[in-house]
Structure 1
Amino acid sequence: MILEADRPRRRRGQELEDAILDAAWAQLAENGYAGFTIEAVAERAETSRPVIYRRFTDRADLAGAAIKHAMNRVPRDDPPDTGSLRGDLLAYLARANDHRGEIGSLLVAVISAYHAETGRSFAELREEAFGERAGRSMDMLFDRAVARGEADPARLTPRVRAVAFDLFRHDLMMTMAPLTEEAMAAIVDEVVLPLVTPRATTD
Protein backbone atom coordinates (compact mmCIF):
# COMPACT_ATOMS: atom_id res chain seq x y z
CA MET A 1 0.00 0.00 0.00
CA ILE A 2 1.36 3.42 -1.02
CA LEU A 3 0.82 6.02 1.63
CA GLU A 4 -0.24 9.51 0.58
CA ALA A 5 2.96 10.96 2.07
CA ASP A 6 5.01 8.63 -0.18
CA ARG A 7 3.40 9.89 -3.40
CA PRO A 8 5.52 12.39 -5.34
CA ARG A 9 4.02 15.86 -5.14
CA ARG A 10 2.71 16.97 -8.50
CA ARG A 11 4.23 20.25 -9.64
CA ARG A 12 2.43 22.70 -11.85
CA GLY A 13 2.82 26.11 -13.43
CA GLN A 14 5.84 28.19 -12.53
CA GLU A 15 7.13 25.67 -9.99
CA LEU A 16 7.33 22.98 -12.66
CA GLU A 17 8.86 25.32 -15.22
CA ASP A 18 11.49 26.47 -12.73
CA ALA A 19 12.36 22.84 -11.95
CA ILE A 20 12.79 22.11 -15.66
CA LEU A 21 14.93 25.20 -16.21
CA ASP A 22 17.08 24.49 -13.14
CA ALA A 23 17.64 20.98 -14.45
CA ALA A 24 18.37 22.26 -17.95
CA TRP A 25 20.97 24.74 -16.71
CA ALA A 26 22.60 22.08 -14.53
CA GLN A 27 22.76 19.80 -17.56
CA LEU A 28 24.33 22.55 -19.67
CA ALA A 29 26.85 23.37 -16.95
CA GLU A 30 27.91 19.74 -16.57
CA ASN A 31 27.88 18.56 -20.18
CA GLY A 32 27.92 21.66 -22.37
CA TYR A 33 25.56 22.28 -25.24
CA ALA A 34 26.94 19.36 -27.26
CA GLY A 35 25.84 16.95 -24.53
CA PHE A 36 22.53 18.66 -23.85
CA THR A 37 19.43 16.51 -24.45
CA ILE A 38 15.74 16.73 -23.64
CA GLU A 39 15.89 13.20 -22.25
CA ALA A 40 18.62 14.06 -19.75
CA VAL A 41 16.79 17.19 -18.61
CA ALA A 42 13.54 15.27 -18.16
CA GLU A 43 15.31 12.68 -16.01
CA ARG A 44 17.07 15.30 -13.91
CA ALA A 45 13.86 17.29 -13.40
CA GLU A 46 11.91 14.10 -12.63
CA THR A 47 9.38 14.78 -15.34
CA SER A 48 8.68 13.51 -18.84
CA ARG A 49 9.66 14.53 -22.36
CA PRO A 50 6.04 15.36 -23.34
CA VAL A 51 5.81 17.75 -20.37
CA ILE A 52 8.92 19.56 -21.59
CA TYR A 53 7.80 19.60 -25.22
CA ARG A 54 4.54 21.24 -24.20
CA ARG A 55 6.60 24.21 -23.02
CA PHE A 56 9.62 24.25 -25.36
CA THR A 57 9.73 23.45 -29.06
CA ASP A 58 13.15 21.78 -29.14
CA ARG A 59 16.46 21.55 -27.29
CA ALA A 60 17.65 24.93 -28.61
CA ASP A 61 14.50 26.61 -27.28
CA LEU A 62 14.96 24.90 -23.90
CA ALA A 63 18.66 25.76 -23.76
CA GLY A 64 17.98 29.43 -24.53
CA ALA A 65 15.35 29.56 -21.81
CA ALA A 66 17.75 27.89 -19.36
CA ILE A 67 20.52 30.39 -20.13
CA LYS A 68 18.16 33.33 -19.53
CA HIS A 69 16.91 31.63 -16.36
CA ALA A 70 20.49 31.37 -15.09
CA MET A 71 21.15 35.03 -15.91
CA ASN A 72 18.08 36.06 -13.94
CA ARG A 73 19.20 34.14 -10.86
CA VAL A 74 22.00 36.67 -10.36
CA PRO A 75 20.79 39.29 -7.82
CA ARG A 76 20.10 42.67 -9.44
CA ASP A 77 19.76 44.98 -6.45
CA ASP A 78 20.11 48.74 -6.62
CA PRO A 79 23.75 49.81 -6.96
CA PRO A 80 25.64 50.56 -3.74
CA ASP A 81 25.87 54.17 -2.57
CA THR A 82 29.29 54.75 -1.01
CA GLY A 83 29.24 58.52 -1.35
CA SER A 84 31.63 58.73 -4.29
CA LEU A 85 31.55 57.65 -7.93
CA ARG A 86 34.80 55.72 -7.61
CA GLY A 87 33.58 53.89 -4.54
CA ASP A 88 30.23 53.13 -6.15
CA LEU A 89 31.86 51.70 -9.28
CA LEU A 90 34.30 49.55 -7.34
CA ALA A 91 31.57 48.25 -5.03
CA TYR A 92 29.28 47.52 -8.00
CA LEU A 93 31.99 45.61 -9.88
CA ALA A 94 33.02 43.73 -6.74
CA ARG A 95 29.43 42.62 -6.18
CA ALA A 96 29.10 41.58 -9.81
CA ASN A 97 32.39 39.70 -9.49
CA ASP A 98 31.07 37.72 -6.53
CA HIS A 99 27.79 36.84 -8.21
CA ARG A 100 28.92 36.33 -11.81
CA GLY A 101 32.39 34.86 -11.43
CA GLU A 102 31.23 31.24 -11.61
CA ILE A 103 28.30 31.63 -13.98
CA GLY A 104 30.27 33.84 -16.36
CA SER A 105 32.79 31.16 -17.26
CA LEU A 106 30.02 28.63 -17.78
CA LEU A 107 28.11 31.01 -20.04
CA VAL A 108 31.12 31.41 -22.30
CA ALA A 109 31.41 27.69 -22.90
CA VAL A 110 27.68 27.15 -23.31
CA ILE A 111 26.79 30.17 -25.45
CA SER A 112 29.59 29.67 -27.98
CA ALA A 113 28.24 26.24 -28.94
CA TYR A 114 24.64 27.44 -28.68
CA HIS A 115 25.40 30.37 -30.99
CA ALA A 116 27.12 28.09 -33.52
CA GLU A 117 23.94 26.02 -33.88
CA THR A 118 21.23 28.67 -33.51
CA GLY A 119 22.91 31.93 -34.58
CA ARG A 120 21.56 33.64 -31.46
CA SER A 121 24.04 35.84 -29.63
CA PHE A 122 24.70 36.59 -25.98
CA ALA A 123 23.44 40.14 -26.57
CA GLU A 124 20.09 38.84 -27.82
CA LEU A 125 19.67 36.50 -24.86
CA ARG A 126 20.66 39.26 -22.44
CA GLU A 127 18.12 41.65 -23.93
CA GLU A 128 15.38 39.02 -23.70
CA ALA A 129 16.34 38.15 -20.12
CA PHE A 130 16.55 41.68 -18.76
CA GLY A 131 14.66 43.94 -21.17
CA GLU A 132 14.41 47.46 -19.78
CA ARG A 133 16.28 46.42 -16.64
CA ALA A 134 19.52 46.09 -18.63
CA GLY A 135 21.77 48.98 -17.69
CA ARG A 136 19.39 50.34 -15.04
CA SER A 137 21.91 49.97 -12.22
CA MET A 138 24.62 51.87 -14.09
CA ASP A 139 22.15 54.61 -14.96
CA MET A 140 21.25 55.02 -11.29
CA LEU A 141 24.90 55.04 -10.29
CA PHE A 142 25.86 57.72 -12.81
CA ASP A 143 22.78 59.82 -12.13
CA ARG A 144 23.86 60.02 -8.50
CA ALA A 145 27.34 61.01 -9.63
CA VAL A 146 25.92 63.82 -11.76
CA ALA A 147 23.93 65.09 -8.77
CA ARG A 148 27.14 65.12 -6.69
CA GLY A 149 29.01 66.99 -9.43
CA GLU A 150 31.37 64.05 -10.07
CA ALA A 151 30.28 63.30 -13.63
CA ASP A 152 29.56 65.48 -16.64
CA PRO A 153 26.12 64.55 -18.03
CA ALA A 154 27.18 65.70 -21.51
CA ARG A 155 29.86 63.00 -21.53
CA LEU A 156 27.60 60.19 -20.32
CA THR A 157 26.68 58.65 -23.65
CA PRO A 158 25.13 55.16 -23.64
CA ARG A 159 28.52 53.69 -24.60
CA VAL A 160 30.32 55.50 -21.78
CA ARG A 161 27.68 54.48 -19.24
CA ALA A 162 28.14 50.85 -20.25
CA VAL A 163 31.92 50.75 -20.59
CA ALA A 164 32.74 49.68 -17.02
CA PHE A 165 30.55 46.61 -17.13
CA ASP A 166 31.42 45.90 -20.77
CA LEU A 167 35.12 45.74 -19.84
CA PHE A 168 34.35 43.72 -16.72
CA ARG A 169 32.32 41.20 -18.73
CA HIS A 170 35.00 41.03 -21.44
CA ASP A 171 37.73 40.20 -18.92
CA LEU A 172 35.50 37.71 -17.15
CA MET A 173 34.74 35.85 -20.35
CA MET A 174 38.30 36.01 -21.71
CA THR A 175 39.91 34.67 -18.53
CA MET A 176 36.96 32.49 -17.44
CA ALA A 177 37.72 33.56 -13.86
CA PRO A 178 36.66 36.34 -11.49
CA LEU A 179 38.59 39.59 -11.86
CA THR A 180 41.24 40.66 -9.38
CA GLU A 181 40.80 43.83 -7.32
CA GLU A 182 43.63 45.39 -9.35
CA ALA A 183 41.86 44.68 -12.63
CA MET A 184 38.61 46.23 -11.42
CA ALA A 185 40.45 49.27 -10.07
CA ALA A 186 42.17 49.71 -13.44
CA ILE A 187 38.81 49.72 -15.23
CA VAL A 188 37.54 52.43 -12.91
CA ASP A 189 40.66 54.59 -12.56
CA GLU A 190 42.19 54.28 -16.02
CA VAL A 191 39.08 54.17 -18.19
CA VAL A 192 35.81 55.26 -16.60
CA LEU A 193 36.77 58.18 -14.39
CA PRO A 194 38.84 59.95 -17.06
CA LEU A 195 35.90 59.63 -19.45
CA VAL A 196 33.22 61.07 -17.17
CA THR A 197 34.93 63.51 -14.79
CA PRO A 198 33.97 67.11 -15.61
CA ARG A 199 36.76 68.97 -17.37
CA ALA A 200 38.31 71.84 -15.49
CA THR A 201 37.27 75.23 -16.84
CA THR A 202 39.54 78.22 -17.19
CA ASP A 203 38.48 81.84 -16.85
Structure 2
Amino acid sequence: MANTRRRGAELEDAILRAAAAELTEAGYPGLTMERVAHRAGTNKNAIYRRWPHRAALAVAAYRHLAEETLKPPDTGNLREDALTLLRAINCGQTSPAARVLRSLLTGVGDEPDLREQLHEQAAAGGTAPWLAIAGQAVASGEARPGALHPRVATTALVLLRNEYLTRGLTTVDDEVLVEIVDEVYLPLVRA
Protein backbone atom coordinates (compact mmCIF):
# COMPACT_ATOMS: atom_id res chain seq x y z
CA MET A 1 0.00 0.00 0.00
CA ALA A 2 1.41 3.40 -1.01
CA ASN A 3 2.03 6.09 1.56
CA THR A 4 -0.91 8.54 1.37
CA ARG A 5 0.27 10.90 4.08
CA ARG A 6 -0.49 14.48 3.19
CA ARG A 7 1.86 17.35 3.89
CA GLY A 8 2.19 21.06 3.34
CA ALA A 9 -0.54 22.85 1.42
CA GLU A 10 -2.54 19.67 0.84
CA LEU A 11 -2.77 18.94 4.57
CA GLU A 12 -3.50 22.57 5.43
CA ASP A 13 -6.30 22.63 2.87
CA ALA A 14 -7.80 19.45 4.36
CA ILE A 15 -7.62 20.90 7.89
CA LEU A 16 -9.16 24.23 6.86
CA ARG A 17 -11.96 22.49 4.96
CA ALA A 18 -12.64 20.25 7.96
CA ALA A 19 -12.67 23.24 10.32
CA ALA A 20 -15.02 25.16 8.01
CA ALA A 21 -17.36 22.16 7.88
CA GLU A 22 -17.31 21.88 11.68
CA LEU A 23 -18.00 25.60 12.05
CA THR A 24 -20.87 25.37 9.58
CA GLU A 25 -22.41 22.42 11.41
CA ALA A 26 -21.65 23.16 15.07
CA GLY A 27 -20.74 26.84 15.15
CA TYR A 28 -17.78 28.24 17.01
CA PRO A 29 -18.94 26.90 20.40
CA GLY A 30 -18.89 23.35 19.01
CA LEU A 31 -15.52 23.62 17.29
CA THR A 32 -12.88 21.33 18.78
CA MET A 33 -9.41 20.45 17.58
CA GLU A 34 -10.25 16.76 18.08
CA ARG A 35 -13.27 16.87 15.75
CA VAL A 36 -11.35 18.84 13.12
CA ALA A 37 -8.43 16.41 13.28
CA HIS A 38 -10.75 13.42 12.94
CA ARG A 39 -12.62 14.98 10.02
CA ALA A 40 -9.37 15.97 8.26
CA GLY A 41 -7.83 12.53 8.80
CA THR A 42 -4.88 13.86 10.77
CA ASN A 43 -3.91 14.41 14.40
CA LYS A 44 -4.20 17.39 16.73
CA ASN A 45 -0.44 17.98 16.67
CA ALA A 46 -0.57 18.69 12.93
CA ILE A 47 -3.19 21.35 13.63
CA TYR A 48 -1.44 22.91 16.62
CA ARG A 49 1.81 23.21 14.63
CA ARG A 50 -0.03 25.54 12.26
CA TRP A 51 -2.59 27.24 14.51
CA PRO A 52 -1.79 27.72 18.22
CA HIS A 53 -5.43 27.73 19.39
CA ARG A 54 -8.92 27.14 18.10
CA ALA A 55 -9.56 30.86 17.56
CA ALA A 56 -6.68 31.05 15.08
CA LEU A 57 -7.90 27.90 13.34
CA ALA A 58 -11.49 29.18 13.21
CA VAL A 59 -10.53 32.49 11.66
CA ALA A 60 -8.18 30.79 9.17
CA ALA A 61 -11.01 28.42 8.20
CA TYR A 62 -13.36 31.36 7.72
CA ARG A 63 -10.77 33.18 5.59
CA HIS A 64 -10.23 30.04 3.49
CA LEU A 65 -13.97 29.64 2.96
CA ALA A 66 -14.47 33.32 2.11
CA GLU A 67 -11.53 33.42 -0.34
CA GLU A 68 -12.93 30.44 -2.23
CA THR A 69 -16.20 32.26 -2.82
CA LEU A 70 -15.09 35.87 -3.35
CA LYS A 71 -12.90 36.50 -6.37
CA PRO A 72 -12.22 40.05 -7.61
CA PRO A 73 -14.12 40.82 -10.82
CA ASP A 74 -12.40 42.28 -13.89
CA THR A 75 -15.06 43.77 -16.14
CA GLY A 76 -12.75 46.50 -17.40
CA ASN A 77 -14.88 49.14 -15.67
CA LEU A 78 -14.27 50.29 -12.09
CA ARG A 79 -17.93 51.04 -11.36
CA GLU A 80 -19.04 47.62 -12.58
CA ASP A 81 -16.23 45.88 -10.69
CA ALA A 82 -17.13 47.67 -7.45
CA LEU A 83 -20.84 46.95 -7.84
CA THR A 84 -20.18 43.32 -8.78
CA LEU A 85 -17.99 42.86 -5.72
CA LEU A 86 -20.42 44.62 -3.35
CA ARG A 87 -23.33 42.59 -4.74
CA ALA A 88 -21.43 39.34 -4.28
CA ILE A 89 -20.63 40.27 -0.68
CA ASN A 90 -24.22 41.35 -0.06
CA CYS A 91 -25.69 38.16 -1.55
CA GLY A 92 -23.09 36.14 0.28
CA GLN A 93 -24.52 37.13 3.65
CA THR A 94 -26.58 33.94 3.61
CA SER A 95 -23.64 31.79 2.46
CA PRO A 96 -21.78 29.26 4.62
CA ALA A 97 -18.94 31.79 5.01
CA ALA A 98 -21.35 34.40 6.35
CA ARG A 99 -22.93 31.91 8.76
CA VAL A 100 -19.47 30.97 10.00
CA LEU A 101 -18.56 34.63 10.47
CA ARG A 102 -21.74 35.28 12.46
CA SER A 103 -20.92 32.28 14.65
CA LEU A 104 -17.42 33.64 15.24
CA LEU A 105 -18.77 37.08 16.08
CA THR A 106 -21.06 35.62 18.75
CA GLY A 107 -18.01 34.13 20.50
CA VAL A 108 -16.01 37.35 20.58
CA GLY A 109 -17.25 38.58 23.95
CA ASP A 110 -15.98 35.56 25.84
CA GLU A 111 -12.67 34.95 24.10
CA PRO A 112 -9.90 37.53 23.77
CA ASP A 113 -7.94 35.30 21.34
CA LEU A 114 -10.91 35.16 19.00
CA ARG A 115 -11.43 38.93 19.22
CA GLU A 116 -7.78 39.52 18.31
CA GLN A 117 -7.86 37.03 15.42
CA LEU A 118 -11.06 38.54 14.00
CA HIS A 119 -9.62 42.04 14.29
CA GLU A 120 -6.56 40.94 12.29
CA GLN A 121 -8.80 39.22 9.73
CA ALA A 122 -10.99 42.29 9.35
CA ALA A 123 -7.91 44.40 8.78
CA ALA A 124 -6.48 42.08 6.13
CA GLY A 125 -9.17 39.71 4.95
CA GLY A 126 -11.55 41.87 2.97
CA THR A 127 -8.80 43.99 1.50
CA ALA A 128 -7.40 41.77 -1.26
CA PRO A 129 -10.29 41.87 -3.77
CA TRP A 130 -10.69 45.62 -3.30
CA LEU A 131 -6.99 46.23 -3.82
CA ALA A 132 -7.18 44.05 -6.94
CA ILE A 133 -9.97 46.08 -8.54
CA ALA A 134 -8.29 49.33 -7.48
CA GLY A 135 -5.04 48.11 -9.04
CA GLN A 136 -6.82 47.31 -12.30
CA ALA A 137 -8.41 50.77 -12.29
CA VAL A 138 -5.11 52.53 -11.54
CA ALA A 139 -3.40 50.58 -14.34
CA SER A 140 -6.12 51.62 -16.81
CA GLY A 141 -6.02 55.26 -15.67
CA GLU A 142 -9.54 55.10 -14.25
CA ALA A 143 -8.40 55.59 -10.64
CA ARG A 144 -5.70 57.64 -8.99
CA PRO A 145 -2.72 55.86 -7.38
CA GLY A 146 -3.98 56.83 -3.92
CA ALA A 147 -6.83 54.36 -4.48
CA LEU A 148 -4.34 51.61 -3.67
CA HIS A 149 -4.24 52.55 0.01
CA PRO A 150 -6.13 49.81 1.89
CA ARG A 151 -8.37 52.27 3.75
CA VAL A 152 -9.33 53.96 0.50
CA ALA A 153 -9.73 50.75 -1.50
CA THR A 154 -12.06 49.21 1.09
CA THR A 155 -14.28 52.24 1.68
CA ALA A 156 -17.27 50.64 -0.08
CA LEU A 157 -16.87 47.46 1.96
CA VAL A 158 -16.68 49.42 5.22
CA LEU A 159 -19.83 51.34 4.32
CA LEU A 160 -21.63 48.09 3.52
CA ARG A 161 -20.54 46.58 6.85
CA ASN A 162 -21.79 49.73 8.54
CA GLU A 163 -25.23 49.13 7.00
CA TYR A 164 -25.26 45.62 8.46
CA LEU A 165 -24.12 46.74 11.90
CA THR A 166 -26.13 49.91 12.39
CA ARG A 167 -29.35 48.68 10.82
CA GLY A 168 -29.16 45.05 11.91
CA LEU A 169 -29.57 43.82 8.34
CA THR A 170 -28.26 40.65 6.72
CA THR A 171 -28.66 42.04 3.19
CA VAL A 172 -28.93 45.58 1.86
CA ASP A 173 -31.14 46.86 -0.98
CA ASP A 174 -29.36 47.25 -4.31
CA GLU A 175 -30.14 50.99 -4.37
CA VAL A 176 -27.95 51.37 -1.27
CA LEU A 177 -25.08 49.53 -2.99
CA VAL A 178 -25.37 51.80 -6.04
CA GLU A 179 -25.40 54.85 -3.76
CA ILE A 180 -22.29 53.66 -1.90
CA VAL A 181 -20.43 53.18 -5.18
CA ASP A 182 -21.68 56.26 -7.06
CA GLU A 183 -21.80 58.79 -4.24
CA VAL A 184 -18.80 57.81 -2.13
CA TYR A 185 -16.46 55.21 -3.61
CA LEU A 186 -16.07 56.49 -7.16
CA PRO A 187 -15.61 60.17 -6.23
CA LEU A 188 -12.98 59.07 -3.71
CA VAL A 189 -10.90 56.85 -6.02
CA ARG A 190 -11.33 58.26 -9.51
CA ALA A 191 -8.42 59.89 -11.29
TM norm. shorter chain > 0.5? yes
Amino acid at match of 1:108: R
The structure 2 residue matched to 1:137, chosen from 105, 120, 132, is: 132
Give, in whole Å, the separation in 2 of the partners of 1:175 and 1:106: 16
* Superposition deviation, residue 39 in structure 1: 1.4
Q: Give the SS at the match of 2:51.
A: coil
Q: CA RMSD in A?
A: 3.6
Q: Give the SS at the match of 1:57.
A: coil
Does residue 95 of structure 2 align to residue 120 of structure 1?
no
Aligned residues: 185
Taking every aligned residue pair, what percent have the same amino acid on both sides? 34
Q: 1:20 to 1:189 in 2, by over 3 A?
A: same
Amino acid at match of 1:110: L
Give deviations 1:163-196, integer Å, cap 9, x for gaps.
Answer: 212122344564234x432231122234334556
Larger proportion of helix: 2
Give, in whole Å, the separation in 1 of the partners of 2:104 and 2:74: 28
* Superposition deviation, residue 105 in structure 1: 4.1
The structure 2 residue matched to 1:14, chosen from 5, 9, 19, is: 9
Give, in whole Å, the separation in 1 of the partners of 2:190 and 2:15: 47
Structure 1: 4+ residue segments shifted above 6 A: none
Give unmatched runs, 5+ long, in structure 2.
none
Give deviations 1:45-94, integer Å, cap 9, x for gaps.
Answer: 22233333343333233223323322332343453213xx4334323323
Give unmatched runs, 5+ long, in structure 1.
199-203
Give, in whole Å, the separation in 1 of the partners of 2:153 and 2:72: 18
Give deviations 1:107-127, integer Å, cap 9, x for gaps.
Answer: 132144146411315341244
Q: 1:144 to 1:169 in 2, by over 3 A?
A: farther
- 2:55, 2:117 within 8 Å by CA — same for their partners in 1? no
The structure 2 residue matched to 1:42, chosen from 23, 37, 45, is: 37
Give, in whole Å, the separation in 1 of the partners of 2:153 and 2:126: 17
Q: Residue in 2 aligned with 1:107?
A: 101
Give, in whole Å, the separation in 2 of the partners of 1:70 and 1:12: 20
Q: Residue in 1 aligned with 2:84?
A: 91
Q: Residue in 2 aligned with 1:168?
A: 160
Give, in whole Å, the separation in 2 of the partners of 1:40 and 1:94: 34
Q: Residue in 2 aligned with 1:71?
A: 66
